Amino acid sequence: MEVAPESPTLESKTDRVTVNLGPQHPSTHGVFRLVLTLEGETVVDADAVVGYLHRGTEKLAEEGTYQQNVAYTDRLDYLSGMLNNFAYTLAVEKVDGMQIPERAEYLRVIAGEMSRIASHMVFVGTFAADLGTYFTPLMYTFREREAILDLLEMLCGARLTFSYYRVGGVAADAPPGWVDRCKALMERLPAKIDEYEALLTENEIVLARTKGVGILEPGTAVSYGVTGPTLRASGVRYDVRRAKPYSIYPTLDFEIPTATTGDCFDRYMVRVREMRQSVRIVQQALERMPKGDFAIALPRNYRVRPGAAYASVESSRGELGFYIVSDGRIAPYRCFIRAPSFINLGVLRQMTVGWKVADAVAILGSLDIVMGEVDR
Amino acid sequence: MSWNSPASPLNPCGEADPILEQLRGALPGAFMTKVEGEQVAVRVQRERLLEVCRFLKGMPGLEFDLLVAETAVDWVDWLDVVYLLRSTTRRHDLAFTVQVSRDDAVVPSVYPVWGAANWLEREISDLMGIQFSNHPDPRRILTWDEFEGHPLRKDFGLGADRDVAYNQVPPGYKKVGEE
Amino acid sequence: MRAIVDQWPVLLREGVAGYLKGFLSPTLVEVLVTAAVIALLLTFSAVTVMILVWLERKIIGRIQDRYGPNRAGRYGSLQLIADTIKLLSKEDIVPAAGDRWVFYLAPIVVVLPALLIYAVIPFGRGMILTDLNVGILYVLAISSLTTVGILMAGWASNNKYSLLGAMRAAAQIVSYEIPMVLSIIGVVLIAGSLSTVAIVDAQERVPFVVLQPLGFLLFFVAAIAEANRTPFDLVEAESEIVAGYHTEYSGMRFALFFLAEYMNTFAIAALGATLFLGGWQWGILPPYVWFFLKSYALVFVLLWIRGTLPRLRVDQLMGLAWKVMIPLALANVFATAAGISLWQRLFGA
């Protein structure tokens, strides 16, 4: 009896599996859902589902006065709270054409850069934790972050959602002794950053997990609107502090770290070097800070001149901008938040497809997103 | 088309700005300008939008390769879609709007020109209700899939008058105990 | 005096056996004494796990610049008891559609090999449960049984991700068995015997780590992979997407898996100490003290690695085993064999 052959060659077909990196997961950096379609271990499609933290900030901003809305902005990128306030107040002051006192500018920049250092410390710690180091680098970076947050608490009373900036300046002046303590901390920080680098930068396993992984081409990056350290790691030298300078940045001396390849390791290195540059900026600003007022005294329910303006800062995640439309009332007519994490996340699919499952976590971690900003 | 909006996006340039000159030379009639003090507001015709965008991105010397932001403003009588462009190589930027009426809120998608438009336009269609033709992935992004309405519109209110309870069972699902 | 301090467990056993032989049949006495030693070994392994868990949490805490548990008892010593009570009081969830008996048996099959290894580890001169003359073979064979248990756990959970995780774990363990076996062959060649007692005796003058440095390194790395410790712990990694094989387990069953892991950790440290560091050899201190010092030194290195290094990706892990370690281990075996034959030619037996 003859049996007809099924097929001349044996094909190995792996099924496509859909894996859900669900909204509750230790490594998704907030409530974020990533639906991966896998063929074996390789990612074939990555669909990011966002909106779990959507709180309607833009709508609520139309109800609150300009000063009240500063409190909403803290909750966007809650890891570098000062920089959100910075962007918002810059935009409102641009619509109105306000000039703020110089001391206020210095205080803003110092607080903003310290926030940036704190945010990058969280990045280094959580990125290493995503790679599997069982939180040791995280504990070290959080130790210094605590020192920074202590100083910021001394300045404005809060550790995470500062609401320190006001339209017209900042909320309060630096208390006596604050500047000296800041200077002492900035002296200590470069050695600590060396400590993190000693643990991670030349570690064989870290290099094996991140070098060449998740490469983002510069053309794709710019086309997808990616900004911040992610863009600079791909080789595009675009930093809002140099491209569209604001506040006192034109007078400060600092470098913009860039890298060449655009893989996860480069994104990590760019942020570590940015920490060092931020320390430089803070040190310079502390030296030169003049005496003066810390804010313009605005009346309650101040009505901003009708008009529209877009102003942005270089946040620790990218270009954070506010597009404010005012029609002369006490509240903005429209407040659009250009959130870098939201836009950077749009490129996740291009970056993840073709890599393995474990790399998806490393790539997501290296993008450094904060869901508060993505969902607003 | 009327210019009755009290505010328009800022272009800190005079009427005779070289960018606008080039644009006017290459694509006449594609846009209108209006001077407001020291700024000029640019409004592009909806039908010529893709042409204008491709020109702005591709023309050497202009090279607007970064779509900084794309958003929408609800001016009650009409809706504005606002585009903020920047060039990473030339350091100049440009802002313009496209005006649509509420009944005909459709705009061509600029995704073929800038990939960033994908998520930005999804957000606008979700929150403002403006549809983008030829969009690769027209799903809601920030609200949940079964959500009805467009929250950022001025007639949405704060949701108090709508039956939008956070524990509302979405259509198609049954409560436990029901048949 | 010296003999009493060094040998009191053996003297105790002989003494009790001798006394009992007075009025019971010899075979019954043997059975009773062996049963007592087994009970002692089980207690010992339980206590070791307690100590190891406490040590891990304290040491990793200190590496991370924090205290580690220090509330439950002095220096957190009662922390494990508190955790055990918590685990015992958890609801026992069994997947409804899973294979129930396989589900119940899997943790036991994973724990048993870890316990059985202690049977052939010499704690001191003459202090071993049974001196099998194929001791090493027994150890290697038993440790492969863990794979079966893991696959059982992954299968019985009725969860495709658990199954994938279990298969990954099984692939990892099987891959790293080969370099482990090969690295031990060098030791066996030099000692001339598979018996653990004979291997320790052969290290009287020089521990094998001096004669077989590459072998020690390979054994250590392979053993870490066998025990699923960092950097090879992707099966229980929280930041990995594919769930581990023990995801569906709760309460005491879950605890059994971790019990197995810590027993395995100490077992490989004890094996490493026996095979390469000289076991209970060297003078001044009693032999069993030496044994524990050496074992805990290796345990400390394991914990240190856990607190410091990140995790390898699964394909990098397999690549390391097959492309790096096996060739090196084979080279080690050939070099050892050549060296021994040269030695014999030059210096006689």
Cis peptide before C231 (omega within 30 of 0): yes
C233/A contact by beta carbon, under 8 A: yes
Element spanning B55, H or E? helix B49-58
Please give the average per-residue pLDDT across C28-33, as a whole number. 84
A128 within 8 A of A137, measured Cβ to Cβ? yes
Residue of A nearest to C305 (CA): A133
B13 within 8 A of B19, measured Cβ to Cβ? yes
Please give the average per-residue pLDDT across C199-205, as a whole number. 84
Per-residue confidence (pLDDT) for residue B45, from 0 to 100 = 87
Q: How wide is the angle at C-alpha C297 spanned by C-alphas C292 and C299, nearest 5°?
A: 95
A108 within 8 A of A289, measured Cβ to Cβ? no
Q: Do B84 and A310 touch (CB under 8 A)?
A: yes
Q: Do B10 and A220 touch (CB under 8 A)?
A: no
The residue type at A258: T
Mutation for testing the C interface, residue in A19, A127, A134 having most C CBs under 10 Å: A134
Per-residue confidence (pLDDT) for residue A191, from 0 to 100 = 93
Task: Give me chain C's average pLDDT, please.
Answer: 83
- Tell me phi and psi for residue A266, to 5 degrees: -65, -40
C304 within 8 A of A350, measured Cβ to Cβ? no
Burial of C145 (0-12, 13-18, 19+ CB in 10 A): middle
Pick from B69, B140, B142: CB nearest A310: B69
Q: Looking at beta carbons, which residues of chain A come within 8 Å of B123?
A: 342
The residue type at C347: F
Residue appearing with tokens 């939201």: A342
Per-residue confidence (pLDDT) for residue A343, from 0 to 100 = 92
Q: Looking at beta carbons, which residues of chain A come within 8 Å of B157?
A: none
pLDDT over 70 at A260, yes or no: yes
pLDDT over 50 at C340, yes or no: yes
- Tell me phi and psi for residue C100, to 5 degrees: -65, -45
CA distance B115 to chain A (A): 4
Distance CA C40, CA C118 (A): 11
CA distance A373 to chain B (A): 12
A16/C contact by beta carbon, under 8 A: no
Please give the average per-residue pLDDT across A201-230, as a whole number. 89
- Which residues 6+ apart lie within 8 Å of B54 measured at CB? B113
What the block records as the tokens of A189 is 């920080």
- Tell me phi and psi for residue B29, to 5 degrees: 80, 0
Give the least confident one: A125-129, A130-134, B64-68: A130-134
Rg value, chain B, Cα: 19
Distance CA A346, CA B69 (A): 13
Of the ranges A51-55, B74-78, C278-282, the best mean pLDDT one: A51-55
Q: Do A132 and C230 touch (CB under 8 A)?
A: yes
Question: Percentage of chain B with pLDDT > 90?
Answer: 15
Pick from A128, A209, A361: CB nearest C241: A361
Q: How many CB pairs (< 8 A) connect A and B?
A: 104
Per-residue confidence (pLDDT) for residue C200, from 0 to 100 = 85
Q: Looking at beta carbons, which residues of chain A come within 8 Å of B36?
A: 307
Q: How wide is the angle at C-alpha C214 spanned by C-alphas C212 and C216, nearest 5°?
A: 70
Q: Do B7 and A336 touch (CB under 8 A)?
A: no
What the block records as the tokens of C337 is 């064999």
pLDDT over 90 at A190, yes or no: yes
Q: Looking at beta carbons, which residues of chain A come within 8 Å of B144?
A: 51
Q: Read off the pLDDT band of A148 (50, 70, 90).
A: very high
A302 within 8 A of A127, measured Cβ to Cβ? no
The residue type at A176: P
- Which residues 6+ apart lie within 8 Å of C96 measured at CB? none
The residue type at A33: R
Distance CA A170, CA A155 (A): 11
Q: Do A308 and B86 touch (CB under 8 A)?
A: no
Contacts for A54-57 with beta carbons within 8 Å, 24 or more apart?
A54/A375, A54/A376, A54/B142, A54/B143, A55/A375, A55/A376, A56/A376, A56/B151, A57/A337, A57/A376
Q: Looking at beta carbons, which residues of chain A come within 8 Å of B156?
A: 59
Q: Looking at beta carbons, which residues of chain B come within 8 Å of A224?
A: 114-116, 118
A45: left (phi over 0), alpha (psi -120 to 50) or beta: beta
Q: How many CB pairs (< 8 A) connect A and C?
A: 80
Q: Do C233 and A206 touch (CB under 8 A)?
A: no
Element spanning A335, H or E? strand A334-338
Please give the average per-residue pLDDT across C286-295, as a whole number. 85
Question: Who wins on pLDDT, B2 or A115?
Answer: A115
Chain centroid to Cα A46, Å, comes to 22
Residue of B nearest to A309 (CA): B10
Residue of B nearest to A48 (CA): B141
Q: What is the DSSP letter of A249?
A: G
Chains B and A touch (3+ CB pairs under 8 A): yes
Q: What is the DSSP letter of C97?
A: T
A12 within 8 A of A354, measured Cβ to Cβ? no
Of the ranges A207-221, C151-165, C237-251, the best mean pLDDT one: A207-221
Distance CA C120, CA C132 (A): 7
Rg value, chain A, Cα: 23
Q: Looking at beta carbons, which residues of chain A come within 8 Å of C243?
A: none
Per-residue confidence (pLDDT) for residue C242, from 0 to 100 = 57
Task: Tell me the whole-structure pTM to 2 decimals.
Answer: 0.86
C306/A contact by beta carbon, under 8 A: yes
Q: Do A358 and C60 touch (CB under 8 A)?
A: no
Q: Do C241 and A21 touch (CB under 8 A)?
A: yes
Residue numbers in chain B where pLDDT is lower than 50: 1-2
Q: Looking at beta carbons, which residues of chain A come within 8 Å of B141?
A: 50-51
Question: Angle formed by the axes of helices C26-63 and C251-276, to 10°?
Answer: 100
pLDDT over 60 at A6, yes or no: no
- Tell me phi and psi for residue C221, to 5 degrees: -65, -45
Per-residue confidence (pLDDT) for residue B1, from 0 to 100 = 37
Distance CA C324, CA C332 (A): 12
Mutation for testing the A interface, residue in B54, B63, B71 having most A CBs under 10 Å: B71
Q: Do A133 and C63 touch (CB under 8 A)?
A: no
DSSP assignment of C37-90, as one string?
HHHHHHHHHHHHHHHHHHHHHHHHHHHTTS----SSSGGGTTHHHHHHHHHHTS
Give the least confident one: A254-263, C232-241, C274-283: C232-241
A121/C contact by beta carbon, under 8 A: no
A256/B contact by beta carbon, under 8 A: no
A103/C contact by beta carbon, under 8 A: no
User: CA–CA distance from B35 to each of B14, B31, B74 (Å)?
Assistant: 8, 13, 22
Per-residue confidence (pLDDT) for residue C126, from 0 to 100 = 73
B83 within 8 A of B95, measured Cβ to Cβ? yes
**C223-241 confidence digits (pLDDT tens):** 888 887 877 776 666 545 5
Per-residue confidence (pLDDT) for residue B175, from 0 to 100 = 61
Please give the average per-residue pLDDT across A176-201, as a whole number. 91
**B135-178 confidence digits (pLDDT tens):** 988 888 888 888 888 888 888 877 665 555 555 566 666 666 65
Pick from A134, A143, A199: CB nearest C230: A134
A353 within 8 A of A37, measured Cβ to Cβ? no
Which chains have 3 or more CB–CB distances shorter than 8 Å to chain B?
A: A
Residue of B nearest to A95 (CA): B10
Distance CA A165, CA A237 (A): 29
Please give the average per-residue pLDDT across C124-132, as a whole number. 78
Q: Do A308 and B8 touch (CB under 8 A)?
A: yes
pLDDT over 70 at C243, yes or no: no
Q: Looking at beta carbons, which residues of chain B come within 8 Å of A347?
A: 115
**b/e per residue, C308-319, with b = 16+ CB within 10 A?**
bbbbbbbebbbe
A348 within 8 A of A27, measured Cβ to Cβ? no
Per-residue confidence (pLDDT) for residue B161, from 0 to 100 = 58
Distance CA A352, CA C41 (A): 50
Strand order in the sheet with A16-21: A16-21, A33-39, A42-49
C76 within 8 A of C58, measured Cβ to Cβ? yes
B63/A contact by beta carbon, under 8 A: no
B81/A contact by beta carbon, under 8 A: no
Mutation for testing the B interface, residue in A93, A224, A234, A240 having most B CBs under 10 Å: A224
Q: Do C312 and A143 touch (CB under 8 A)?
A: no
**C39-72 confidence digits (pLDDT tens):** 888 888 888 888 888 888 889 888 888 888 888 7
Of the ranges B118-127, C190-199, C282-291, the best mean pLDDT one: B118-127
**A70-80 confidence digits (pLDDT tens):** 999 989 989 98
Distance CA A81, CA A74 (A): 5
pLDDT over 70 at A239, yes or no: yes
Please give the average per-residue pLDDT across C291-299, as a whole number. 89
pLDDT over 90 at A270, yes or no: yes
Per-residue confidence (pLDDT) for residue B14, from 0 to 100 = 54
Residue appearing with tokens 């062996």: C34
Question: Percentage of chain A with pLDDT > 70?
Answer: 95
Chain A, window 303-332: residues with a beta carbon less than 8 angstroms from a chain B beta carbon: 306-310, 312, 319, 321, 323, 325-328
Rg value, chain C, Cα: 21
Per-residue confidence (pLDDT) for residue B25, from 0 to 100 = 82
Q: Do A134 and C60 touch (CB under 8 A)?
A: yes
B149/A contact by beta carbon, under 8 A: no
C274 within 8 A of C184, measured Cβ to Cβ? no
Contacts for C325-331 with beta carbons within 8 Å, 24 or more apart?
C325/C176, C325/C179, C325/C218, C325/C221, C325/C222, C326/C178, C326/C179, C326/C182, C328/C179, C328/C214, C328/C218, C329/C178, C329/C179, C329/C182, C329/C183, C329/C215, C329/C218, C330/C182
Residue appearing with tokens 């909204």: A23
Pick from A26, A36, A206: CB nearest C310: A206
B153/A contact by beta carbon, under 8 A: no
Q: Do B82 and A321 touch (CB under 8 A)?
A: no
Chain A, window 269-308: residues with a beta carbon less than 8 angstroms from a chain B beta carbon: 306-308
pLDDT over 60 at A11, yes or no: no
> What 3-state DSSP class applies to B14?
coil
CB atoms within 10 A of CB C5: 11
Q: Looking at beta carbons, which residues of chain B come within 8 Å of A241?
A: none
Question: Who wins on pLDDT, C148 or B19?
Answer: C148
A236 within 8 A of A223, measured Cβ to Cβ? no
pLDDT over 50 at A8, yes or no: no
User: CA–CA distance from A178 to each of A181, A252, A286, C287 (Å)?
Assistant: 5, 21, 10, 60
Nearest to C262 by CA among C9, C98, C10, C56: C56
Q: Looking at beta carbons, which residues of chain C come within 8 Å of A28?
A: none
A358/C contact by beta carbon, under 8 A: yes
Per-residue confidence (pLDDT) for residue B178, from 0 to 100 = 56
Per-residue confidence (pLDDT) for residue A145, from 0 to 100 = 93
Residue A14, CB half-sphere, CA atoms under 13 Å: how many? 11
Residue appearing with tokens 């449960």: C129
